């Protein structure tokens, strides 16, 4: 079905830049970049999938059934996303909030052209209908000159606005706390949208700048029919390798400091913060419960609990939960059984999602959904769509959302400050 060729690269990082720049000409693009973070945890350093041969695009109705049929029928590489609103396919829930982006709720495509990078090795897989283009494409990529990142110089840019004013946000957090005090929930992830209307952006340049200042382990550039995702996500949702499945929820965020000693002190304070630890442990318990539905009895393990990792913009508290998949569970069922991810919902999950829908003012859409790929063998790797800019080029609508876990210990003002900290990189590249 595919023609595969393997090449050695003298300058892998330079080739990556050329490859992304060369991809501009295509209508369907999925670019995934680990930015050299923990290379042992990702199958590839970077992946580029181009030019849809087939695709599936749908709203939430029977979305997971359609995805399963598509994945099992193609038995090939497929790339795409699950929007947060697929919650309505797995539970009796609704999404009625404002939507300025109008993305399909699920979109996957089978690429004609595929590039897989690991170390200094490049694996190229083209469908046979286009495999006579491999050598010419590689020659074109190598000879491409990559311009320096250029500042986005829109004239008279429309401002970035908050969908929820600060005082209204604080009031909504207090309402969330009242739900917690009544015992409706223990924790919920509450998010707010920042947006700009009538904006033309060069999505490639904005993504390159966002990736440069954030250097995340799950960077993604996605272009599908005028819908763009520019993601600097630090979080893995779910990975499947053979029978092994792994989730790495994030809960707990602290700022970085240019002063080395102060930065170390901030990281240590995060690691020892009881509120942040309790947030993380609650979500780990939720993930363990989700995985137990599809895992072999006794195989769900917490390999790493509340470990602090440092990124360019923030310190994050991350846990790693693994399990062995029960026999005869289809790959898509792993996603259906665990979606949406606990780190973006709360506990108990269904109650939290109902309260989130009631208090938030924007439809989440792809934000707090997942982007990734399936291999022909049914393995997969998906990130969590956070620290991300969403762009509808036809409607000229730009959006990014940020949020945090609200628990009984939450202080509304501090939650608002955490949102601004998470929004910093996106605001910077759009301002």
pLDDT at 38: 74
Active-site entry in 28, 105, 209, 235: 235
Q: Is 221 exposed, middle or buried (0-12, 13-18, 19+ CB in 10 A)?
A: buried
Give the domain ranges of the chain. 2-430
CA dihedral 19, 22, 28, 31 (to 10 degrees): 20
- What is the C-alpha separation between 60 and 69, in angstroms, rounded? 15
Tokens of 147: 């311009």
> Has 251 been annotated as catalytic?
yes
pLDDT at 322: 98
Lookup result for tokens 């939650």: 415
Tokens of 58: 């749908």
pLDDT at 149: 61
> Has 427 been annotated as catalytic?
no
pLDDT tens, 240-261? 999 999 999 999 999 999 999 9
pTM for the full predicted model: 0.95
- What is the C-alpha separation between 245 and 243, in angstroms, rounded? 7
pLDDT tens, 129-178? 999 999 999 999 999 987 776 555 555 688 999 999 999 999 999 999 99
Kindly give the confidence (pLDDT) of every residue in the chain, 431 residues in length, as a single tens digit, with 9 standing for 90 and above.
899 999 999 999 999 999 999 999 999 999 999 998 876 678 999 999 999 999 999 999 999 999 999 999 999 999 999 999 999 999 999 999 999 999 999 999 999 999 999 999 999 999 999 999 999 999 999 999 877 765 555 556 889 999 999 999 999 999 999 999 999 999 999 999 999 999 999 999 999 999 999 999 999 999 999 999 999 999 999 999 999 999 999 999 999 999 999 999 999 999 999 999 999 999 999 999 999 999 999 999 999 999 999 999 899 999 999 999 999 999 999 999 999 999 999 999 999 999 999 999 999 999 999 999 999 999 999 999 999 999 999 999 999 999 999 999 999 999 999 999 999 999 999 98
Active-site entry in 113, 208, 240, 251: 251
Lookup result for tokens 């680990």: 34
CATH number for the domain running over 2-430: 3.60.120.10
């Amino acid at each position: 079905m595919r023609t595969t060729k393997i090449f050695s690269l003298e300058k892998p990082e330079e080739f990556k830049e050329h490859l992304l720049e060369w991809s501009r000409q295509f209508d369907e693009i999925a670019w995934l970049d680990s930015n050299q973070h923990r290379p042992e945890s990702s199958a590839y350093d970077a992946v580029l999938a181009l030019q849809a041969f087939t695709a599936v695009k749908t709203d939430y109705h029977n979305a997971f059934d359609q995805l399963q049929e598509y994945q099992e029928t193609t038995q090939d590489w497929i790339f795409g996303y699950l929007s947060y609103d697929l919650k309505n396919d797995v539970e009796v829930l609704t999404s009625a909030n404002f939507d300025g982006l109008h993305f399909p709720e699920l979109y996957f495509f089978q690429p004609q052209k595929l590039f897989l990078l690991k170390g200094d090795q490049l694996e190229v897989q083209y469908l046979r209908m286009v495999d006579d283009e491999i050598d010419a494409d590689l020659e074109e990529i190598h000879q491409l000159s990559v311009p320096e990142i250029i500042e986005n110089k829109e004239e008279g840019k429309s401002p970035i606005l908050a969908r929820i004013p600060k005082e209204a946000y604080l009031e909504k957090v207090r309402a969330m706390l009242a739900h917690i005090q009544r015992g409706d929930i223990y924790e919920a992830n509450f998010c707010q949208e920042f947006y700009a209307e009538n904006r033309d952006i060069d999505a490639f340049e904005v993504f390159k700048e966002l990736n440069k200042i954030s250097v995340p382990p799950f960077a993604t550039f996605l272009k599908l029919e005028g819908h763009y995702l520019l993601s600097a996500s630090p979080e893995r949702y779910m990975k499947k390798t053979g029978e092994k499945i792994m989730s790495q929820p994030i809960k707990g965020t602290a700022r970085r400091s240019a002063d080395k000693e102060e930065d170390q002190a901030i990281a240590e304070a995060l690691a020892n913060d009881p509120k942040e630890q309790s947030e993380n442990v609650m979500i780990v318990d939720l993930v363990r419960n989700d995985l137990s539905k599809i895992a072999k009895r006794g195989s769900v393990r917490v390999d790493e609990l509340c470990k602090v990792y440092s990124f360019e913009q923030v310190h994050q508290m991350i846990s790693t939960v693994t399990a062995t998949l029960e026999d005869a569970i289809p790959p898509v069922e792993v996603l259906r059984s665990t979606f949406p991810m606990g780190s973006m919902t709360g506990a108990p999950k269904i109650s939290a999602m109902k309260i989130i829908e009631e208090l938030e003012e924007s439809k989440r859409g792809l934000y707090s959904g997942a982007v990734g790929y399936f291999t022909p063998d049914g393995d997969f790797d998906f990130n969590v769509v956070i620290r991300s800019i969403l762009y509808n080029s036809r409607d000229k609508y730009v959006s990014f959302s940020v949020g945090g876990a609200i628990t009984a210990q939450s202080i509304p003002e501090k939650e608002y400050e955490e949102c601004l900290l998470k929004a910093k990189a996106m605001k910077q590249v759009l301002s």
